[in-house]
Amino acid sequence: MTVIEATGLRYAYPDGTLAVDGIDVTIEAGEQVALVGPNGAGKSTLLQLLGGLIDPDSGTVRYFGETDDADDVRDRMSVLTQDPADYLFNPTVEEDLAYGPGQLSLSRAEIDHRVDRITARFDLEALRSKPPFRLSGGEQRRAALASALTVDPDVLLLDEPVSNVDAANRATILRLLEELSAQGTTIVISTPETELVPHVADRVLLLDGDGIAADGSTREVMTDAGLLADCDLRPPQVVRLFADHETVPLTVEEAQERLQMGDSR
């Protein structure tokens, strides 16, 4: 099933900057897609257009083959922007977590159940009663992602969810994204970091500022040094290290496995 079908998207900011110009994107259910490109390539703008947070100047976005209005699918799709303050605005973290499900017509017991479950899953127990502004940057990102998940979305759009996040919070977020992928959640994630891509996506849309420079598997795009260089990006370090091997590992874990099996070339 096609969950998002965007056609001819064009968006210029009020100052005239043309951020997205003539982009078509189709996302199928269960895919994990990375929007990858250098800073300023239009990733964030495209993600906001796909999530219905801003309206295109021209073009359309269709959800689940049913509607062009993102508000109709807020119970099935969550969008996480880069600013945790978009999600954390209640007196306590706990109230923030209850806010999303509170917008759906759920019973109080179901809302409490979801908040408890997500609190445990994101290891937020100790932060539960705190005002969100007292949290560290990484904790805020973790809490914001938790709040995006309380509606149990089928589709999750994430704008650079681990940039400026410390190693421990980053590991927690990546582990959760892996779990969500395994459960079949459709994930679209924007990032300028090629290192991150093999951990979060099996398909890559490469943006170069003029449009989509490539749309392919993570392996195809992340091992194409020339293509990435055209977009001012480099392949992940482990890909560069093993570039002349027969099958190139995309992650350190894959490389370790390969080496344990005795592959020296």
Please give the residue ranges that form the binding site for ligand ADP (CB under 6 A): 13, 15, 17, 19, 37, 39-45
Report the chain's C-alpha Rg in angstroms: 19
Write b or e for each residue in 101-123: b if 16 or more Cβ atoms lie within 10 A of its Cβ, otherwise e. Answer: beeeebeeeebeebbeebbeebe
Proportion of the chain in helix, strand, coil states, percent, rounded to 5: 40, 25, 40
- Token pair belonging to 193: 């970091």
> Least distance to ligand ADP from the beta carbon of 145, Å?
18
> Least distance to ligand ADP from the beta carbon of 20, Å?
7
> Least distance to ligand ADP from the beta carbon of 76, Å?
24
CB 151, CB 113: distance < 8 Å: no
CB 49, CB 5: distance < 8 Å: no
Residue 166 to residue 215: CA distance in whole angstroms: 30
**CB closer to ligand ADP out of 30 and 40:** 40
Order the strands of the 212-217 sheet from edge to edge.
Answer: 77-80, 155-159, 186-191, 32-36, 203-207, 212-217
> Least distance to ligand ADP from the beta carbon of 23, Å?
11
Indicate the residue whose CB is closest to ligand ADP. Answer: 44
> Least distance to ligand ADP from the beta carbon of 24, Å?
17
**CB closer to ligand ADP out of 39 and 183:** 39
Alpha carbon distance, N-terminus to C-terminus of the chain: 41
The residue written with tokens 């040094």 in the block is 225
> Least distance to ligand ADP from the beta carbon of 168, Å?
25
**CB closer to ligand ADP out of 45 and 150:** 45
